[in-house]
Amino acid sequence: MYQAQYWVELQNLKAHVFYLELYQIRSENIERGISIVLAIASAGSIGGWAIWKEYAFVWGLLIMLSQVVSVVYKFLPFKARIKPLSAAGIELSVLADDAEKGWFDVAQGELTEREINEKRFAIRRKKSAVMKSAFAGMVVPEHAGLMSKAELQMRRYFQSHYPELTNE
């Protein structure tokens, strides 16, 4: 029973590592996309205004909208999460490697149920400490599509590294 719980904990941790990685990539892509759109809108509007003066109102409106988006963009939460996502992802990846290394002793039956349970809760405590340290006061929302992708990556990882085990 405790072996199975440790295995599930290990899988959850690995899925969480993949989720943070995918969420970071998504956040960086959103940030990059907004930055590109703002740059094109600002530069294009000014250039368009200079060339087509009869549409000055349209160009002025585009410039104003890009400025509003630029100000609002600074307060969007995904941008503030990028650095903590990277730090937490790295730390959780190291923790997952340590937990996977510990799986050998668990799987070999070399530990008592109490020792396995203690190792499992030590992993949870470390994971919580990493998340609290990286995201003090922030919440990482769960994106269903990214979570499904992370779980798929986790299953593929364990199927390739532990083909003898079921990964349900």
pLDDT tens per residue, range 151-163: 999 999 999 998 8
Six token digits for residue 99: 């937990």
Question: Which is higher by pLDDT, 147 or 32?
Answer: 147
The domain containing residue 117 runs over which residues?
2-160
- DSSP designation for 29: H
pLDDT tens track for 124-154: 999 999 999 999 888 888 999 999 999 999 9
Residue 143 lies in a domain: yes
Residue 67 lies in a domain: yes
Tell me the average pLDDT of the chain.
88
Residue 165 lies in a domain: no
Residue 102 lies in a domain: yes
Residue 22 lies in a domain: yes
Residue 168 lies in a domain: no
Residue 140 lies in a domain: yes
Q: What is the largest CA-CA distance in the chain?
A: 81
pTM, two decimal places:
0.83
pLDDT tens track for 100-131: 999 999 999 999 999 999 999 999 999 999 99
Note the pLDDT of residue 167: 47
Residue 107 lies in a domain: yes
Domain count along the chain: 1
Question: Which is higher by pLDDT, 160 or 51?
Answer: 160
Nearest to 4 by CA among 75, 105, 107, 138: 107
Q: How far apart are CA 92 and CA 51, in angstroms?
A: 53
Tokens 């203690």, residue?
Answer: 118
Q: Which residues contact 145 (CB under 8 A, 6 or more apart)?
A: none
